[in-house]
Structure 1
């Protein structure tokens, strides 16, 4: 060792030094983060531990662990909101500990009322509360209406920190995962397979949370900050806003099509309008601080016309929702879409006519909306239950299945339309509300069904058993001519029917002819000769070319007959196979087409094939 300095002096080659890991700095930062957000991190640790125990235990065991996992996730965001508010108020001990005690009390109360095995309804309500709390985190430290720049800077930091934490978590998890797999494959070290999900839960639950919290800025220091990432403006200006404009063009073009053809808007347009509105509002929020800067006057112009352009689209959205509600009543999905449509209308009116145009209006009102719809007689679950119960009561009374408030077994055959609708509502009331509103109609028979152990872990009786109390069988829309709206339907041949094939030489399957373009064709070899089958979507026809002969089977008549049933939302039963059997004879061959499935969509006022499946039976003439 004594020679190393001399060698270094003579050769002038520096010795390589190992990089120093800042372990002390990392430890100090982690400790300070824990002191700043202790209850948030304790919730994350508790949730991670609970999920680890759930991974280890037998999934069939009844346990309080699922409830604890739900409470931990809710507590994480709840305590984050309370700790942010406390910090904004100076972290006075009385206020801080009072808020933490309030948080513990709220979680304990929720735990007490939460079922042992939460059903879909409870999980949906839980999701609404989580959305409300996440929105509250954006403004909890900025309840003062006049403080707007600090609010934007704080949420910008949260957004960027969230992306950074996700990147670090994903890269570190993949690195550790590959390291474990390397030990397993290269050194034959047997690794328990449960290690992998546990590692992921740890990275997401503890590492990601701790890393994110370490970068949360102090809300008391941001009001005078004017930093604005240039890349954020470029991303918004050249990526988000062009996409918003594209959505706008598509939606207005579709609205023009509706006016020209004078038809109802499709239900799917609701999600497109909501997506367009969300993207537009998010874009305007991202560039809000630079709207007054020189050269950025276009931002104010764009914002003004964006909110004006929303009004016709919101009318389109409300019409689409109203049509679905008129035909099928209110469900949770339709209620939420309607609530969001009304909220968007309020946002557009506020930013067009208010002088302040404070961006805090968006998260505050949306968070309040999420809380309001989650509970109460005006809430999403109560309104939906009343609507569907009313529909069921009306249908049952119409067909003498509900007399003096008691369910009666069916005495005469009822239309398949009514049977399918009854099935749909009964299934909904069971899955979402455990038949709370209709148990009195059945009396003791319903109680006996609840005493039975349902399949698939459901808390409600099986739909088939409830329908049996009415003398009905389970009837699906998909077992009949399906009507999604007046622009689409499909028909099916009954399954398990015998089709005579004697007298034919060949069988050609049509199962691959799906989602037709204007023409779709396929070639087959019948001995030395070629058979070409052409499916023509504009003409609704099947054409068979063999040698010098052309045979044609037109399906236009059956399609146009069933379009009337589509318009009136009729649902006749699956058609007998013989009604979907078409035969044509030529000089060289006889062809029988047996359709098993046919779907049609409306285009330019006429229904056209969009999907055809079936079989060709071919007999060669001698």
Structure 2
């Protein structure tokens, strides 16, 4: 009992000390955890909306590492108390600005900015105490402590969560208590949000500049670096250099996958250089020495290959956020190559510091990824419509389906889809004559009426984006971005056909039987002494009905071919609300979806109620589904 009391007292003392030492960081962890629990619970209170909770969570996620970086910066700097208070005020102004400005529900681009800022502030923690100090080994030891505390904390919390899950399951199973598993989810969030944060903070040094530099290099880390990380990076290098030689020999453009491979090699290589820094000059580490010496040299041609791969895509499809990031990373890698190859005494601190500066540059301003890619994709969309002569007063007008090139329409739909998913609805205002702000208000009112004022931001976004796609007559061209211009022969048009009425006309017939492509073999229907059974079919090209020895075989694909050949005459039956582009929907008279076969005095009519089929120049007609009835007369 005394041991338990001492353990609990020691634990509480450490928690109290940690909270007193890092009050702001702890506060942000509590606020972030609370908002995450509220979002997970699924209950949206009148006073706190889902959007506001998300904004609070995002702000807290940035505030935690930012406050930690500020703490370490103030710890090592000899700054007057008034200036310290001024910096604290600036910090809270930044946090409040983030809280009020971040709005991912209205502006999807804020999600990208949030992720970039989150990475940037974590990088800031790594070097904030060393902005005016050149002790690289202390910098390495400090970051080693951060890394080990983070990994250890995540491991402990994972084990604790697994133990709680097992205990929860045992109590539920053995005692038959109907536990609410949502509480277990809340416990997970609290463990990783608060417990993990306190554990991480508790092991951080009081002054990073006084971190011991005479600590032996961890054997496990040495083994990992020598025998796993460096060899893995070397294998990547051999593969990429061989691929580059292949490109030079065959003189072909690089494939998109090469970008991921080069970025992966760069990440592994830089991680290896950071991890082996204290032992890089040891005599017994010849492999590590060679890797460090030649890594940046061999990285240079790979970066040019990376630039070639991404600029090829940019020339064809414009700048997207992803392509912008690749260009930015390539520029950063070129900077590191020049720095480490040309500078006599390069410091590994340059890696996180330069990456932090780069991220801040590409996050905000007219040169940011969001701004550049928006301008580029708006220009791409404008040029596509201009090429098809679909501009009036330099504004987009709905496409003309029969006159617009299919590939151009697919490109238009793909570009529009990108803009709608990654930017605010009004970002398209420069290209459209209608007022998008007023239109959005009308759409919101319509959506609320349709959904009885139920809050559903994601559902509304889909509804709003679909409206604009239909307005430009691009609704039937989306989701076909994988097709290139030389693949148009395989491009499929989708046809959805159904009868105008749900009433089945049985005049002059005796019985009705529903068509079933997968009938129950044990079930046999009998009428007037005749045995009726359907034939199983894995495809919908034909449907078959057997009456005793008579087989009635109806060709669905033949009917589909007939409908496709008459598509020009079916315009009057087209469903204008949902039929667009390559997705055609028709409401036809029942007689147009009938086929009759008469044998031995028995007449069977197949009445199709719904039919779906595709058509491509290369593959012709392919039926996808059919729903029909047999109308039988003896």
Match for residue 490 of structure 2? 491
Deviation at 1:19, TM superposition (A): 6.6
Write the deviation string for residues 223-257 of structure 1: whole angstroms up to 9, x where unpaired: 64343112211110000011101111111121122
Match for residue 422 of structure 1? 412
Write the deviation string for residues 263-306 of structure 1: whole angstroms up to 9, x where unpaired: 11011110110000110110011011112233335433321211
Match for residue 482 of structure 1? 483
Match for residue 9 of structure 2? 24
Moved more, 319-328 or 86-95: 86-95
Instruction: Pick from 120, 130, 137 the counterpart of residue 142 of structure 1.
Output: 130
Q: 1:494 to 1:123 in 2, by over 3 A?
A: closer
Q: 1:294 to 1:458 in 2, by over 3 A?
A: farther
Equivalent residue runs for 1:25-40 within 5 Å:
25-40=10-25
Q: 1:474 to 1:446 in 2, by over 3 A?
A: farther
Match for residue 200 of structure 1? 188
| Residue aligned with 2:490, SS | strand
- State how far apart, in whole Å, the 1-side matches of 2:239 and 2:488 are: 25
- State how far apart, in whole Å, the 1-side matches of 2:91 and 2:2 are: 50
- State how far apart, in whole Å, the 2-side matches of 1:106 and 1:437 are: 26
Match for residue 524 of structure 1? none
Moved more, 220-229 or 170-179: 220-229
Equivalent residue runs for 1:180-259 within 5 Å:
180-218=168-206, 219-222=208-211, 224-259=213-248
**Structure 1: gaps (5+ residues):** 1-15, 499-504, 511-570, 582-593, 598-622
Q: 1:156 to 1:251 in 2, by over 3 A?
A: same
Instruction: Pick from 111, 115, 129 the counterpart of residue 127 of structure 1.
Output: 115
- State how far apart, in whole Å, the 2-side matches of 1:475 and 1:215 are: 56
Contact residue 148 and residue 360 of structure 1 kept, 8 A: yes
Q: 1:73 to 1:577 in 2, by over 3 A?
A: closer
- State how far apart, in whole Å, the 1-side matches of 2:318 and 2:76 are: 46
Deviation at 1:442, TM superposition (A): 2.6
Deviation at 1:182, TM superposition (A): 2.1
- State how far apart, in whole Å, the 1-side matches of 2:488 and 2:225 are: 41
Does residue 1:71 correspond to 2:68, yes or no? no
Match for residue 167 of structure 1? 155
- State how far apart, in whole Å, the 2-side matches of 1:579 and 1:198 are: 54
Match for residue 615 of structure 2? 576
Q: 1:575 to 1:96 in 2, by over 3 A?
A: same
Deviation at 1:70, TM superposition (A): 1.4
Q: CA RMSD of the aligned region, Å?
A: 3.2
- State how far apart, in whole Å, the 2-side matches of 1:378 and 1:507 are: 59
Deviation at 1:464, TM superposition (A): 3.9
Deviation at 1:18, TM superposition (A): 7.1
Deviation at 1:384, TM superposition (A): 0.3
Match for residue 530 of structure 1? none
Match for residue 434 of structure 1? 424
| Residue aligned with 1:189, SS | coil
**Structure 2: gaps (5+ residues):** 448-456, 498-534, 541-580, 584-612, 625-634
Contact residue 493 and residue 595 of structure 1 kept, 8 A: no
Deviation at 1:595, TM superposition (A): 7.6
Deviation at 1:117, TM superposition (A): 2.8
- State how far apart, in whole Å, the 2-side matches of 1:199 and 1:262 are: 57
Q: 1:507 to 1:262 in 2, by over 3 A?
A: farther
Q: 1:466 to 1:301 in 2, by over 3 A?
A: same
Match for residue 367 of structure 1? 356
Match for residue 381 of structure 2? 392
| Residue aligned with 1:47, SS | helix
What TM-score does the superposition give when structure 1 sets the normalisation length? Answer: 0.74
- State how far apart, in whole Å, the 2-side matches of 1:580 and 1:116 are: 43
Moved more, 398-407 or 65-74: 398-407
Deviation at 1:59, TM superposition (A): 4.7
Does residue 1:357 correspond to 2:346, yes or no? yes
Match for residue 470 of structure 1? 472
Deviation at 1:65, TM superposition (A): 1.8
Equivalent residues, number: 502
Deviation at 1:94, TM superposition (A): 4.0
Deviation at 1:340, TM superposition (A): 0.4
Match for residue 68 of structure 2? 80
Q: 1:440 to 1:298 in 2, by over 3 A?
A: closer
